[in-house]
A and B are shown apart, each in its own frame.
Chain A
Amino acid sequence: MDAVFSNFDEYLKAFGLTIGLFVVSSILSLVLGVFLAALRVGPVGIMRKAATVYIGIFRNTPLVIIFIFMAVAAPKLGYNFKFIEDWEVGGYHVSSFFFRSCLALTLYTAAFVCEAFRSGVNAVPLGQAEAARAIGLTFAKSMRLVVLPQALRAVVPPLTSVQVALLKNTSVAAAFGIAEATATMHALTNDNADQRPGIFLSFAVGYIILVEVLTLSSYVIERRWRVA
C-alpha cells in the first residue's frame, strides 16, 4: 500500500487518464452507435445490411486486435494522427496514442451500443406502434412521440452495462503504451515486489468506485425517467 500512497498523485493521474479515455470514447461511441442503430431499424435494405456487417465484424474481433490495427498497423498506412498533437485541450496536448486508443475503443464499443439501442426499440410493445399508426401519426411522429421515448427508458440498463464494459476495456490501452491505471499498476507492481496485493487492491478499488458511480447514476436516471 505504501507504494500507492507515496505515489498518490501518480495514482490519481493514472485514473484521470482512464476517465479521459472513457469519456471521449463513450461520447464518440454513443454517436456512432445511435447512427448504426438508426441504419439498422430503418427501411432501406442495403443500409440495414451494411450496419449488420459492421456489427458482425467489430463484435467478433477482440479489442486487442482492433488496438493492433490502430496502434501498430494504421501508422504503416500513413494514418498516425500526428496532427492531433497540435490541438490543445485545457493546457494539455492530446497525444496521438491517446486519440488512436479512443478510436479503437469507439469502433469496438459502437457495435455494442447499437445492439443496446436496437434491443431498446425492440422492447417497446408492438401495440404501441400500431396504436400510433392507427391514430394517424406519420412514421416520424410515431417514432418521436411514441416509440423513442419508451425505447429510451428501456435502453438505460443495457446501455449501462455497455458503458461499464467500456470503462473496464480502457485497460487494454495499457498494452499499447498509455500510462492509464492498469499500466501504472503494472509499473508499481514491477517496482515493489513486497507490496503486490496492496497495490492490486488499491487499483481494484479505484475501478470499483468508477463502476459503482456509473451504475448508481444509471439507477438514478432510470428512477427519474420512470413513468408512474
Chain B
Amino acid sequence: MSGNVLFDAPGPRTIARHRVYTGITLLAILGLVLLIVGKLNETGQLEYAKWEPFVTPDYVRVLLVDGLLKTLEMAFFAIIFAVVVGLALGVGKLSEHRWIRLPSFLVVEFFRAIPVLLLMIFIFYMLSVGDGPLSSFWCVVLALTLYNGSVLAEVFRAGVNAVPHGQVEAAYALGLRKTQVMTIIQLPQAVKIMLPAVVSQCVVALKDTTLGVYILAPGLTFISKQIYLQFFNQVPTAIVVAALFIACNLILTWIAHMLQRRLTGEKSAPAVPTGDGAGAGTF
C-alpha cells in the first residue's frame, strides 16, 4: 500500500508544517552526529595511533586475507552445503511417504528452534576439542549448514507449494513421473519465487559466521579481537569491522536484486505472448 493514498496533496499549511518537521529531524540528526564525533574526540578515539593498523599495509592484509576472506569462505561453504541440505529436507517434507516426511519434519523443526551458537558449541566439543577430526572453521560451517539448511528447507517447501497446481496436473497429464514433475516442472519455477528468501538467508549466514569467535574459529571478528587487544583501539576496530560487514551485505543484497530482476524480468512482459518477445517461450 503506497502512502500517498492516505493523504491529500499537501496544502500550503501542511507543506510549512512538513518543513518544520524536516528542520527538527535534521537538527536531531546533526546533534546526534556531533555528540558521537565529540565523544569520540573527547575520549581520544580519533587519534592517529588508534587508526594506524587500518592504514598499515601488513595489518590491512591480515584484516582482509585472514579475516574477511576466511569469513567469506566460511559463509560460502555454509551456503552451498545449506542449499543442498535444504533441498533434500524440503523435498523430504513434501514426500508422499510418511517415513521420509516425518524425519525431515523433525530435523527441520529441531535445528530451526535451537540457537546456532548452542549447536556450534556442541559440535565444537564433540568433533573438535581434543583430537577431533574437524577444525573450528569446519565446525562453524557445519553448524551454519544445519541451521540454514533447515530454514531453507522450509523456504523450498513453500516455494514448491507456491507453484500453481495446474502446472503439476498438466505435467502428470503429459505422463511425467513424480520425480520428473518435481525436478523439471516444480523446482525450476519455485527457484524464481524463493530467490529473495534464499538471498536474505545468505546475508543471515554471513552475519552468523561471526559467532565462530566463541569457538576460536578464524575470521574477521577473530582478527579484529586480536587487533584491539594489541592496540587497545576497540572503538575504531568495531567501526571498521562493522563497515566491512555492511559493505559485504549490501553488495550481496544488490547482487540478489539484479539476479531477481534477471530471472523474473520476463514476468513483467505482457501477459499475452507477442510471439517475438524475449520472454515469450520461457513460461
- Given contacts A43-B18, A46-B25, are A61 and B245 in contact (CB under 8 A)? yes
**Is A147 an interface residue, CB under 8 A from the partner?**
yes
Which A residues are in CB contact (< 8 Å) with B211? 64, 172, 175
B214, closest chain A residue (CB): A175
Interface mask (B93-133 → A, CB under 8 Å = 1, otherwise 0): 00000000000000000100111111001100110000000
Closest to B36 in A: A77
Contact A69 B238 (CB under 8 A): yes
- The interface residues of chain B lying within 8 Å CB-to-CB of A204 are 110, 113-114, 118
Interface string of B16-48 (1 = CB under 8 A from A): 001001100110010000000001100101000
A60 touches which one: B3, B40, B122, B246 (CB < 8 A)?
A: B246
* Cβ contact within 8 Å between A122 and B235: no
Question: A172 to B29, alpha carbons, bound, how many Å?
Answer: 30
CB within 8 Å: A-B pair count = 155
Known: A43-B18, A64-B211, A129-B6. Is A72-B121 also a contact (CB below 8 A)?
Answer: no
Contact of B43 among A46, A78, A197 (CB under 8 A): A78
Q: Which residue of B lies closest to A75 (CB)?
A: B234
Q: Is the interface of A mostly helix, strand, loop or mixed?
A: helix
- Contacts A72-B228, A122-B1: A182 and B121 contacting too (C-beta < 8 A)? yes
Neighbouring A residues of B208 by C-beta, 8 Å? 62
Complex contact A171–B118 (CB within 8 A): yes
Residues in chain A near residue B7, CB distance under 8 A: 43, 139
Determine whether the beta carbon of B43 is less than 8 Å from that of A77.
yes
B221 in contact (CB, < 8 A): yes
Assess whether B238 is in contact with A73, with CB atoms less than 8 Å apart. Answer: yes
Q: Say if the beta carbon of A68 comes within 8 Å of chain B.
A: yes
B113–A211 touching, CB < 8 Å: yes
Least distance between B257 CB and chain A CB atoms (Å) = 14
Find out whether the CB atom of A182 lies under 8 angstroms from the CB atom of B26.
no
**Restricting to A63-80, which residues have a CB under 8 Å from any CB of B?**
63-66, 68-69, 72-73, 76-78
> A50 is contacted by which of B25, B110, B114 (Cβ under 8 Å)?
B25
Interface size of A as a range: 35 or more
Chain B, Cβ-Cβ closest to A44: B21
B282 within 8 A of A: no
Contact present for A168 and B242 (CB under 8 Å): no
Interface flags for B140-168 (1: CB within 8 Å of A; 0: not) read 00000000000000000000000000000
Contact mask for chain B residues 158-184; partner A; CB cutoff 8 A; 1 contact, 0 none: 000000000000000000000000000
Listed A/B pairs (13) with beta-carbon separation below 8 Å: A41-B3, A50-B25, A50-B29, A56-B246, A60-B207, A62-B207, A64-B221, A65-B245, A68-B238, A77-B235, A130-B5, A185-B122, A196-B126
Q: List residues of A whose CB falls within 8 A of some B CB.
A: 41-47, 50, 56-57, 59-66, 68-69, 72-73, 76-78, 121-126, 128-130, 133, 139, 142-143, 147, 168-172, 174-175, 181-182, 185-186, 189-190, 196-197, 200, 203-204, 207-208, 211-212
